[in-house]
């Protein structure tokens, strides 16, 4: 076994604190990675505080991992010691069901193994990236082709793929007007990626002070979603909307912006039950409301390669491991520009 230092939540109400644990010694097909950087996803906060009512404690969050390979099993062929590698939201799946067969491990019919909070339907817990090392089967490890700025690459492993996957699924491209709702970790990646795919991006935000940033990140237009007149100017005009909001909100006002037959896809996962939208907004223009979960391993690699090719990384604020609890509080106030990333070299500091 390998001794690991990390940070964990021990119960929903306590702040995260230093935590020591063990990981398996690398098996034949395993890659051992020294974690250099780990992004802070809103899902980490939902999980640490048991907001989805499925957290296994102790909980070591973190699924936006970039690090250096320090050991490999005998059968490993894709990685060598010293390589830079990434780990995203899932570290295993059944490998046999129809979804796994199609490379859609996130929809594994037996339930995939999360990088943290592991098999939520039973079995042993898994510990994520708020730690100094991780051991993962090479099949679930990603190659990083970005030449530098690795801290800003980390958020691609969740925020990047969670937005890239639906943008691809709904065939976003040139000539389309695409809405992104919420300028947080996911939203700012969605703006950058949709722009790189050639779309005309309209950002919908509740935070007027984010307007300049949204334009700089690649939005062609910014709409303050609480302003009814600004919203009305876009009625029935959008080809697709990607909604990243982390809390219950008014879906009707957004659905009314879709063209006939267009889709709004939800990726935000609020902690409390979400009010349903009005049926009329859907039936009168045959509009669709959909959801999407992260992305499979092959598509995550495709996204990383796409981002490397287009020079896309996250806009980050680097934090020390010790600052994680304060970072969570700021995240709850939408005060993140636009992803916190933990510098894991700080783990040993006091
Ligand atoms: P985040 O950085 O906190 O961003 C969320 C953004 O939503 C905020 O910056 C804010 O943007 C907006 N927002 C927050 N509260 C709002 C409210 N009450 N009404 C309207 N807008 C509000 O979070 P994130 O890391 O991007 O994650 C977003 C959500 O996606 C979380 O629920 C997370 O768990 C979920 N998630 C889902 C998947 C998946 O596979 N589907 C993957 C990762 C994360 P403005 O200030 O611009 O309004
Ligand atoms: Zn995430
Ligand atoms: Zn499966």
What's the pLDDT band for 120 if we cut at 50, 70, 90? Answer: low
In the reported structure, the alpha carbon of residue 26 is separated from the centroid of ligand 2 by a whole-number distance in angstroms of 25
Question: What pLDDT, in 10s, does the model give residues 147-159?
Answer: 999 999 999 999 9
DSSP per-residue string spanning 89-154: SEEE--SSSHHHHTT-GGG-TT--EESSS--TTSS-----SSBSEEEEEGGG-EE----S-HHHHG
Judge contact between 172 and 265, C-beta under 8 A: no
Judge contact between 61 and 158, C-beta under 8 A: no
Could you give the 3-state DSSP secondary structure of residue 279?
A: helix
Give 348's contacts (C-beta < 8 A, 6+ positions apart).
Answer: 5
Cα dist from 268 to 41, 221, 317, 319, 338, whole Å? 11, 22, 21, 24, 16
Give 226's contacts (C-beta < 8 A, 6+ positions apart).
Answer: 206
Q: In a mutational test of the pocket of ligand 1, which residue from 182, 219, 253, 316 has the highest number of ligand atoms less than 8 Å from its CB?
A: 182
Per mean pLDDT, which range of 128-142, 173-187, 264-278 is the poorest? Answer: 264-278
Mean pLDDT across 226-238: 98
Mean pLDDT across 137-142: 98
Q: Which atom of ligand 1 is nearest to the CA of 267?
A: 41
Mean pLDDT across 113-139: 92
What's the pLDDT band for 318 if we cut at 50, 70, 90? Answer: very high
Query: Is pLDDT of 121 > 80?
Result: no
Question: What pLDDT, in 10s, does the model give residues 233-284?
Answer: 999 999 999 999 999 999 999 999 999 999 999 999 998 889 999 999 999 9
> What per-residue confidence (pLDDT) applies to 175?
97
Pocket lining for ligand 1, CB < 6 angstroms: 41-43, 46, 158, 162, 182-187, 205-207, 210, 244-247, 249, 267-270, 292-294, 331, 334, 336
Q: Is the pTM of this model over 0.75?
A: yes
DSSP per-residue string spanning 32-87: EEEEEEEE--HHHHHHHTTTTS-PPSSB-----EEEEEEEE-TT--S--TT-EEEE
Q: How many CB atoms lie within 10 A of CB 218?
A: 19
> What per-residue confidence (pLDDT) applies to 95?
94
Mean pLDDT across 211-220: 98
Q: What is the DSSP letter of 220?
A: S
46 vs 185: CA distance, rounded Å: 14
What's the pLDDT band for 133 if we cut at 50, 70, 90? Answer: very high
Judge contact between 154 and 217, C-beta under 8 A: no
**Dihedral angle over CA of 125, 12, 151, 297, nearest 10:** 40
Mean pLDDT across 14-23: 97
> What per-residue confidence (pLDDT) applies to 348?
86
Helix (H) or strand (E) holding 263: strand 258-266
> Percentage of the chain with pLDDT > 70?
99
Query: Is pLDDT of 129 > 70?
Result: yes
Query: Is pLDDT of 72 > 90?
Result: yes
Helix (H) or strand (E) holding 302: helix 297-310
In the reported structure, the alpha carbon of residue 286 is separated from the centroid of ligand 3 by a whole-number distance in angstroms of 33
327 vs 306: CA distance, rounded Å: 29
Q: Which atom of ligand 1 is nearest to the CA of 338?
A: 2
> What per-residue confidence (pLDDT) applies to 124?
87
Give 322's contacts (C-beta < 8 A, 6+ positions apart).
Answer: 346, 349, 350
Output phi, psi for 134, to 5 deg.
-145, 150
> What per-residue confidence (pLDDT) applies to 122?
65
Cα angle for residues 275, 221, 208 (degrees, 5° grid):
65
Per mean pLDDT, which range of 59-68, 118-127, 132-141, 154-163 is the poorest? Answer: 118-127
Query: Is pLDDT of 123 > 90?
Result: no
Cα dist from 103 to 140, 147, 266, whole Å? 11, 27, 21
Ligand lying nearest the CA atom of residue 42: 1
Mean pLDDT across 64-73: 98
Per mean pLDDT, which range of 34-38, 140-144, 272-276 is the poorest? Answer: 272-276
Mean pLDDT across 35-40: 98
Helix (H) or strand (E) holding 273: none
* Beta-carbon neighbours within 5 Å of ion ligand 3: 93-94, 97, 100, 108
- Mean model confidence pLDDT for the chain: 96
């Amino acid at each position: 076994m390998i001794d690991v230092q990390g940070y964990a939540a021990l119960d929903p109400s306590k702040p995260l604190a230093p935590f020591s644990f063990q990981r398996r010694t690398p098996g034949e097909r395993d890659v051992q990675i020294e974690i250099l950087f780990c992004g802070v996803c809103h899902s980490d906060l939902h999980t640490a505080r048991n907001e989805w009512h499925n957290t296994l404690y102790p909980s070591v969050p973190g699924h936006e991992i970039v690090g250096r390979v320090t050991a490999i099993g005998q059968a490993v062929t894709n990685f060598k010691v010293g390589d830079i590698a990434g780990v995203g939201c899932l570290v295993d799946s059944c490998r046999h069901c129809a979804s796994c067969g199609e490379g859609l491990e996130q929809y594994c019919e037996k339930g995939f193994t999360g990088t943290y909070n592991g098999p939520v339907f039973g079995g042993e817990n898994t510990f994520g990236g708020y730690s100094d090392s991780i051991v993962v089967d090479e099949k679930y490890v990603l190659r990083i082709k970005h030449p530098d700025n690795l801290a800003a690459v980390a958020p691609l492993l969740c925020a990047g793929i969670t937005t890239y996957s639906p943008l691809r699924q709904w065939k976003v491209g040139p000539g389309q007007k695409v809405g992104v709702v919420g300028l947080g970790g996911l939203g700012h990646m969605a703006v950058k990626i949709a722009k790189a795919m050639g779309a005309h991006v309209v950002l919908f935000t509740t935070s007027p002070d984010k307007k300049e940033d949204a334009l700089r990140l690649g939005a062609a237009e910014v709409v303050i979603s609480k302003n009814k007149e600004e919203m009305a100017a876009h009625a029935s005009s959008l080809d697709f909307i990607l909604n990243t909001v982390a809390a219950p909100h008014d879906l009707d006002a957004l659905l009314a912006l879709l063209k006939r037959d267009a889709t709004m896809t939800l990726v935000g996962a609020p902690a409390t039950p979400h009010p349903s939208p009005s049926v009329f907004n859907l039936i009168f223009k045959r509009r669709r409301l959909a959801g999407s979960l992260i992305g499979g391993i092959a598509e995550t690699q495709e996204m990383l390669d796409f981002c490397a090719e287009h020079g896309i990384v996250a806009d980050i604020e680097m934090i020390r491991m010790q600052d994680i609890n304060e970072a969570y509080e700021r995240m709850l106030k939408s005060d993140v520009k636009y992803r916190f990333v933990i510098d894991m070299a700080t783990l040993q500091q006091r």
